Structure 1
Amino acid sequence: MQLTQSIELKDIAALCQLGASELDELLEYGAIPLVETPSNGLRVPNNYVNTLLKAAQIRRDFALDLFTMAILANYIQKISDLELSNSQLRHEVAQCKC
């Protein structure tokens, strides 16, 4: 796997230990954001890979269904986005020295 800004769906399925039908179901739920690249077709942005890995691990640990994994992935991503915003704001405040 080379360093790019997105990853192929088959690689996501392998990393998250998902079968083809499970991946299709998550796509139907809209749980996996996709970007279209001219040469490679549909891919998953790299910034969402850790979210899917965490959600898949929790799914396996607690024997959750795919619908619950989709909801979980959404919340994990929201938490990640909020943590990033918080970090950026803390950095801005530290630079201000008001």
Structure 2
Amino acid sequence: MFEAIQKYAQANPEVVINYQHYQNSFCVVLITPFMFRAHKALKEAGEVVFVDATSCVDQLNTAITPFMCTGPGGAVPLAILLTSSQDEATLTKG
């Protein structure tokens, strides 16, 4: 999986991808150029952030957690977090 992430990051240098891998856990954050602009342009991005987690989306039971804020047209994505689980240890370590 991390080889695919590195390959994607090399092919898309404008996308911010950070990841940590430790023991059997991982945490990956993805920020696209649109998301980065939202951080800079919308004051709401620094005030109220909505979080919703979906888990078990693949064979590794990866949890996908989008971070969003409100904008003039509705919800605006700020980042996407992919984790190996939703337990406290994984989320705080990542």
Per the normalisation by structure 1, the TM-score is 0.24
Larger Rg: 1
Name whichever structure is richer in strand by fraction: 2
The structure whose residues are more often helix, as a share, is 1
